[in-house]
Each structure stands twice: as structure tokens, then as C-alpha cells.
């Protein structure tokens, strides 16, 4: 691998860590996409259903933040799920700006059926690492992610 740019040791260390982080992440995203596709869901749709399963009824803006999607994007994702009868949208409560999204019985059956398999799949994929290694990875990623949020 010929290289025209030579950085400092700090730079090459960081870049090298970064590239492996991004690669692993893309591999997991691809895997997730395959799993979702098997249920005729996009990765984003899967994410919304999963979030609703774990959080219960949630307003759209909050879903957008949790899933790191723009508000506009989330509108269309949720609209698609609603068309398929997997979620319900209602403006309820005193503040009519908020749209509460909740799973329908059909949506809950779907995601509750898929999620355990997903969890097993991820656990299997992570067997490449020992339990302490997984915890350490989590810690490092969390620290890194935290530090990026502000600037």
C-alpha cells in the first residue's frame, strides 16, 4: 500500500482506528439491512418499530433524534409504516403539535417476532469478541461518541 502522505504517529493511529471502526459499522449496517429486508422493511422502518417496542408510544421528533434521521425523513418512514397498518399516528394530549406514534397489534406482532432473532444474530456476530472485549468496545465507542456530540 504505497502512501504519498505521511502523518504523525498520532494521526496514523487515529486514522487506522477510524477506518476499522467505519468498516465494522458498515458491515453491521449491511447485515441489519438484510434482516429487515427479510420482513420487507427498510433499515429505518425496522429502527422505528424497534424503538417503539422498547420505548412505547413516542412522538415523531423524539424518534428522529434517537434514530439520527432528519425530521422530514422520519415523516416519510412513519407514513410508510402507517400505510401498512404497522403503526398508528395520532395528535393527542393538550399540545396538538405533537404526533404520537404507537405500534398497532399487527406492528407489535411483527417486531416482537423479529426482534429476538435479531438479538440472537447480533450476539452471534459478537462472539468474535470475548465478553470483556465487548464491554471494552462499548466503553471506547461510547467515550468517543460522547466527545463528538458538541464540537
Partner DNA sequence: CGCTATTATTTTGATATCAAACTATATGCC
Partner DNA sequence: GGCATATAGTTTGATATCAAAATAATAGCG
Q: Provide the binding-site residues for its own copies, judged by CB under 8 A.
A: 1-5, 7-8, 10-11, 13-18, 20-29, 31, 53-56, 68, 112, 115-116, 119-120, 122-123, 125-126, 128-129, 131, 133-138, 140-149
Name the burial class of residue 15, with classes exposed (0-12), middle (13-18) and buried (19+) by CB atoms within 10 angstroms of its CB. Answer: exposed
71 near DNA, rule: CB under 7 A: yes
Please, are residues 42 and 65 in contact by the beta-carbon 8 Å criterion? no
> Nearest distance from residue 97's CB to its own copies, in Å?
24
Looking at residue 102, the DSSP 8-state letter turns out to be E
Q: 129 CB contacts (<8 Å, ≥6 apart)?
A: 137
Site pattern 88..107 for DNA (x: CB under 7 A) = -x----xxxxxx--------
Please, are residues 74 and 64 in contact by the beta-carbon 8 Å criterion? yes
Indicate the residue among 8 and 94 with the shorter CB distance to its own copies: 8
Angle at 24 (CA atoms; ends 20, 26), nearest 5 degrees: 115
Pick out residues in 3-62 that bind DNA (CB under 7 A): 42-44, 59-62
Please, are residues 97 and 65 in contact by the beta-carbon 8 Å criterion? no
Indicate the residue among 83 and 151 with the shorter CB distance to its own copies: 151
Indicate the residue among 15 and 79 with the shorter CB distance to its own copies: 15
Contact set with DNA (CB under 7 A): 42-44, 59-62, 64, 68-80, 89, 94-99
Amino acid at each position: 500500500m504505497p502512501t504519498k502522505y505521511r502523518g504523525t504517529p498520532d494521526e496514523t493511529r487515529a486514522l487506522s482506528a477510524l477506518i476499522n471502526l467505519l468498516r465494522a459499522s458498515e458491515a453491521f449496517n449491511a447485515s441489519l439491512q438484510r434482516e429487515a429486508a427479510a420482513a420487507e422493511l427498510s433499515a429505518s422502518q425496522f429502527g422505528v418499530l424497534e424503538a417503539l417496542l422498547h420505548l412505547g408510544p413516542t412522538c415523531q421528533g423524539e424518534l428522529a433524534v434517537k434514530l439520527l434521521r432528519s425530521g422530514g425523513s422520519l415523516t416519510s418512514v412513519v407514513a410508510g409504516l402507517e400505510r401498512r397498518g404497522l403503526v398508528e399516528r395520532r395528535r393527542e394530549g393538550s399540545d396538538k403539535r405533537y404526533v404520537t406514534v404507537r405500534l398497532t397489534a399487527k406492528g407489535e406482532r411483527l417486531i416482537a417476532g423479529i426482534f429476538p432473532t435479531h438479538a440472537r444474530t447480533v450476539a452471534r456476530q459478537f462472539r468474535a469478541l470475548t465478553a470483556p472485549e465487548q464491554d471494552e468496545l462499548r466503553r471506547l465507542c461510547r467515550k468517543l461518541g460522547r466527545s463528538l456530540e458538541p464540537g
